[in-house]
Structure 1
């Protein structure tokens, strides 16, 4: 907590973070959420996920707000639609009577052919309600697009009461902006058990529960590594298709099993199995990206066509897990320089990068090439 009382008001309260957790759940069920933003948090708007809207939801949104909604999308998605700009988020005005199916197609390239006729692009300040709504959609691992309607002429001191009167959850911009870091800080070590693995019989699984209600992360501690020395560590993002099903479209399964073998052969270390499916865009969006790759996009372009950055992962949870395990210095098994920089920014000292490469196959050659050329991976 800040020592300077003048800074305390800008720090999200525990209740604000709980509102974000609930706002994520509400968006994922297709509900309407009130978001408070603006330079002085003096603007209120209502938002709903663009991929989950119905015509009835659009009508209710307009009725509650008393204004016409706009479609808020990321700069990456706007560029695909030919509605570019320099702002991180842009708003598209919609012709009167635009059906929900057309809105969904504008937001999601896998939802149909996008009809851009009659749209007007309005850049949105990064601190504005539409940008805030898109950030909340990302936290929900939904397509980063929202239908947003401003609530005009509402004084800041009336926003909470107005939201309660209309049975709407109110989510604050500041809490959304800090949520990923704050959620990682609320990880707790929940359970552990000895689980001998095929390639590492001396193995303990340690589960970490996030108090935001999200998915658990798991540490696989192999052998008895000394936390005081640099520990051999692998950060592995969950990949249902590669890790469990043996997909040949990626190298994730090879990397997971290869890392477990390598750590065991080295005498011990830790693999962090992080709930960050699809570079943290979620399983559904990863499968949508695959469908775009089948049409010719590479792994980077597929993510940006959906409106995401090419890699949405952050490593606050990994750093928190290492801290709870008493590990401050690591030898990191990775081909991704971004992991080194992110861990260092979180206070974990990366003493050495340990190369971690496996042969390609005819299904993932293009994927690995894009990782090297466009994402800077070191093969």
Structure 2
């Protein structure tokens, strides 16, 4: 007797495989064995060479840094030289040494055929979250023992959809700056990180609630980092809700604008080299902001809130709330936490990311 896995379960397994350096098969118009360059081992590289010529897929953002034309629009496919080793591959994926070794070419771009399988592989790596750099090899679409096989036509809609959230538990909690509240833990169906809703006081569901969508920031919220304004924003939002007697703060586990803590530290390292926060994300292969604010709208609606007074300086959050059916009746500015160390970062958010001053 066998148990069939749903597409969400298959995706969750595939993310885990990629994080461990285990190949995943993507099938559609042909089939690819793919592995995340970040997790690749020398032995795995040697094993994959046995299947045929190797290819690397990178996002157009990373290709721009490498000065490679992205013929597929949002990505580039490159042939892997027969003598290329781990150092060559990791230099393509990770920009840590770009300034020290700026010349990595010449590259041979692959332009024949569709890039749908490579595109799906990069999206899967981002969702892991890993550097969006994939080593791939074309294979027959036949079952391989121990290898997770995914149909691209089945996974692409799921990769672009916010996973449904389910309430797990809730309890009362007295808080230093907000007073008595209630913490709700919500778990996504796709096995991703849990998110939290902190209800301050007893908000009236029939009136617009003071609300904040706060993305997790380990360095700012926990360590008191001076490189960002996240910690002060968290405390100020809770304090304002406490002063008004009611509110709801959503703590969304989308660290580093959705790229994960490891990649955020990579971005910080690039900032130490002189790049701003947006440039650092692009050099890593990511967009300016990879977060999914649909999560916030889903949580608010699930808790019975249809209208909010949103504590934010980010118009993208307002637009997403409105698009998802949560009325934003007022934007409440949240201007706190500027330091000498983060002044340039905050200026970049205004100049390049559209944040309001």
TM-score by length of 1: 0.88
Given the alignment of the two structures, is residue 166 of structure 1 paired with residue 145 of structure 2, yes or no? yes
SS at match of 2:34: strand
Q: Which residue pairs with 1:72 in the alignment?
A: 57
Whether contact under 8 Å (1:246, 1:253) holds in the other structure is yes
Who is 1:19 aligned against? Answer: 10
Deviation at 1:378, TM superposition (A): 0.3
Distance in 1, Cα, partners of 2:152 & 2:88: 28
Which residue in the other structure is 1:48 paired with? 35
Secondary structure of 1:110's aligned partner:
helix
Residue 289 of structure 2 corresponds to which residue in structure 1?
311
Q: State the alpha-carbon separation in 2 of the partners of residues 377 and 126 from structure 1.
A: 37
Measure how far apart 1:123 and its partner are: 4.7
Alignment map for 1:137-216 (pairs within 5 Å): 137-151=125-139, 154=140, 159=141, 162-163=142-143, 165-180=144-159, 182-185=161-164, 187-216=165-194
Alignment of 1:199-238 (within 5 A): 199-238=177-216
TM-score for both structures, normalised by structure 2: 0.93
What residue is the counterpart of 2:84 in the other structure?
A: 98
Question: Which of residues 312, 335, 342 is equivalent to 1:357?
Answer: 335
Q: Deviations over 1:111-170 (max 9, x none)?
A: 66365233112358775111111111001010011001112xx4xxxx3xx22x432101
Q: 1:280 to 1:225 in 2, by over 3 A?
A: same
Query: Pick from 230, 235, 238: which aligns with 1:260?
Result: 238
Q: Which runs of 5+ in 1 are unaligned?
A: 1-12
Report the counterpart of residue 35 of structure 1 in structure 2: 26
Q: CA deviation at 1:316?
A: 2.3
- The superposition leaves residues 338-365 of structure 1 with CA deviations (integer Å, 9 ceiling, x where unpaired) of 1111222222222221111115111000
Q: Which moved more, 1:355-364 or 1:302-311?
A: 355-364
Aligned CA-pair RMSD: 1.8
Q: Distance in 1 between matches of 2:8 and 2:337?
A: 43
Q: Indicate yes or no: 2:65 matched with 1:83.
A: no
Structure 2: runs of 5 or more not aligned: none
Alignment match, 2:107: 119
CA distance in 2, matches of 1:124, 1:305: 26
Whether the aligned pair in 1 keeps the contact of 2:22 and 2:35 (CA below 8 Å) is yes
Q: How many residues align?
A: 351
Runs of 4+ displaced beyond 6 Å: none
Higher mean displacement: 121-130 or 338-347 = 121-130
